């Protein structure tokens, strides 16, 4: 039996990838060999009707589960950055997908990173219990090895994502409204909303009012207030709070992606697959997955604003996806 430990996954990009991984496993000939440990907040897909357990997502309950099931599994795959709490004596793989955890040791005294640093210490404490880390990009592998958690031979880059989810069914680019930009993201600090909104304020001061679609929930009331203030002055910013990305990716022409930290940057791929043009931060994580239509400096509001104006006045190239989906390779590795 192969354990898929996804105890700390419940929302966001991690949940999207977990849903897809479950679908791939359930379609595999060895599906009955897999057992899933799930977070209570994760929306379990209906087709997963057996071979799973939901327990509280605490370190205590996770440790108890591992101790009670020592010797039961032939492989372990932890899907949430944190290696097994004990050595199970079998091949163990840990999927690492949190870039902030890798940044934290260098910025541990910064408020934004202190909690991440404590989580990193847990990862470091359990590091000996995993044989391999699996990551989505070469950049993430380099970050892991730079911290000394594993060497190159034990950091495997196996990107996976649903490469058919957004292909086909979208409007041709020349039939889309010309001045609409989309940023589908939660308002966590690394997503860089303040600079993006500064750029839209600058555009407004120049008499430019391109429409911006965002998804800011009530965890960031300061950003909601800023959006309302800009709109009162004439900006066109639509806060959907939550929306199925497909609705916007299939009809709007541009993705704008100012994030400063990403482990994979899945929206970049989704936007490219949806026929959008991509304006993105000039950072390594972007080039690991796509060649963007245009890059800007994410800390500079003028650079972002200039990119927007260039998109509206220039026929930019379409982005090129440079990574590939290796989900089958991952499932075969775990089941082999």
Looking at the structure, do residues 279 and 230 belong to the same domain, yes or no?
yes
Instruction: Annotate 150-176 with b (16+ C-beta within 10 A) or e (fewer).
Output: beeeebbbbbbbbbeebeeebeeeeeb
Contact of 21 with 79, CB cutoff 8 Å: yes
CA distance 332 to 23: 14
Last residue of a domain, one of 113, 133, 157: 157
Number of domains in the chain: 2
Looking at the structure, do residues 7 and 153 belong to the same domain, yes or no?
yes
The first and second tokens of residue 123, run together, are 């990862």
Q: Is residue 331 part of a domain?
A: no
> Quick one: 205 exposed, middle or buried, by C-beta within 10 A (0-12, 13-18, 19+)?
exposed
Secondary structure element (H or E) that encloses residue 190, with its range: none
Residue 316, CA distances (Å) to 157, 254, 276, 277, 312 in order: 31, 10, 11, 7, 9
Contact of 286 with 265, CB cutoff 8 Å: yes
Give the pLDDT of residue 263. 82
Q: Is residue 297 part of a domain?
A: yes
Looking at the structure, do residues 76 and 212 belong to the same domain, yes or no?
no
Looking at the structure, do residues 177 and 135 belong to the same domain, yes or no?
no
- Owner of token pair 């372990």: 76
Assign 321 to helix, strand or coil. strand
Looking at the structure, do residues 179 and 317 belong to the same domain, yes or no?
yes
Q: What is the pLDDT along the chain (336 residues), one digit of tens a residue?
A: 999 999 999 877 788 899 999 999 999 999 999 999 999 999 999 999 999 999 999 999 999 999 999 999 999 999 989 999 999 999 999 999 888 888 888 877 777 778 888 998 999 999 999 999 999 988 889 989 999 999 999 999 999 998 888 887 899 999 999 999 999 999 988 899 999 999 999 999 999 999 999 999 999 999 999 999 999 999 999 999 999 899 999 999 999 999 998 888 889 999 999 999 999 999 999 999 999 999 999 999 999 999 999 999 999 999 999 999 999 999 999 998
Q: Backbone phi, then psi, for 177, in 5-degree steps?
A: -60, 130
Last residue of a domain, one of 129, 157, 185: 157
Looking at the structure, do residues 141 and 200 belong to the same domain, yes or no?
no
The first and second tokens of residue 124, run together, are 């470091």
Q: Is residue 289 part of a domain?
A: yes
Looking at the structure, do residues 241 and 194 belong to the same domain, yes or no?
yes
Contact of 152 with 141, CB cutoff 8 Å: yes
In CATH, what number is assigned to the domain containing residue 106?
A: 3.40.50.2000
Containing domain of residue 250, as a range? Answer: 173-321
Give the pLDDT of residue 16. 87
Looking at the structure, do residues 204 and 64 belong to the same domain, yes or no?
no
The pTM score is 0.84
Looking at the structure, do residues 6 and 134 belong to the same domain, yes or no?
yes
CA distance 268 to 290: 7
Q: Is residue 328 part of a domain?
A: no
Last residue of a domain, one of 157, 188, 220: 157
Q: Is residue 326 part of a domain?
A: no
Looking at the structure, do residues 77 and 223 belong to the same domain, yes or no?
no
Beta bridge partners, 94, equal 78, 133
Looking at the structure, do residues 235 and 129 belong to the same domain, yes or no?
no
CA distance 263 to 17: 13
Tell which residue, 324, 333, 318, has the closest CA to residue 163: 324
Q: Is residue 334 part of a domain?
A: no
Give the pLDDT of residue 100. 81
Give the pLDDT of residue 249. 96
Give the pLDDT of residue 126. 96
Looking at the structure, do residues 128 and 231 belong to the same domain, yes or no?
no
Q: Is residue 164 part of a domain?
A: no
Q: Is residue 21 part of a domain?
A: yes
């Amino acid at each position: 039996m192969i354990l898929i430990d996804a105890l700390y996954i419940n929302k966001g990009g991690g949940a999207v990838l977990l849903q897809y991984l479950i679908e791939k496993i359930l379609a595999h000939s060895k599906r009955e060999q897999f057992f899933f440990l799930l977070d209570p907040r994760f929306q379990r897909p209906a087709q997963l009707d057996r071979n799973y357990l939901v327990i509280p997502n605490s370190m205590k309950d996770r440790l108890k589960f591992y101790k009670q099931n020592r010797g039961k599994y032939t492989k372990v795959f932890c899907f949430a950055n944190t290696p097994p709490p004990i050595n199970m004596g079998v091949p163990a793989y840990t999927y690492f997908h949190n870039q902030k955890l890798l940044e934290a040791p260098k910025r541990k005294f910064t408020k934004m990173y202190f909690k991440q640093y404590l989580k990193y210490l847990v990862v470091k404490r359990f590091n000996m219990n995993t044989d391999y880390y699996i990551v989505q990009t070469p950049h993430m592998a380099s970050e892991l090895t730079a911290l000394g958690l594993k060497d190159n031979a034990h950091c495997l880059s196996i990107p996976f994502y649903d490469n058919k989810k957004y292909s086909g069914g979208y409007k041709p680019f020349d039939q889309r409204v010309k001045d609409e930009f989309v940023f589908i993201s939660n308002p966590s600090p690394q997503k860089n909303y303040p600079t993006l909104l500064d750029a839209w304020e600058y555009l407004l001061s120049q008499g430019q009012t391109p429409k911006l679609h965002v998804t800011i929930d009530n965890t960031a009331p300061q950003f909601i207030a800023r959006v309302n203030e800009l709109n009162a002055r004439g900006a066109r910013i639509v806060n959907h709070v939550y929306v199925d990305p497909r609705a916007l990716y299939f009809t709007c022409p541009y993705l704008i992606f100012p994030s400063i930290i990403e482990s994979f940057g899945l929206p970049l791929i989704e936007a490219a697959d949806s026929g959008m043009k991509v304006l993105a931060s000039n950072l390594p994580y972007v080039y690991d997955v796509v060649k963007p239509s245009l890059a800007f400096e994410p800390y500079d509001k003028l650079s972002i604003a200039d990119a927007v104006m260039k998109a509206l006045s220039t026929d930019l190239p379409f982005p090129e996806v440079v990574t590939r989906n290796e989900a089958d390779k991952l499932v075969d590795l775990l089941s082999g």
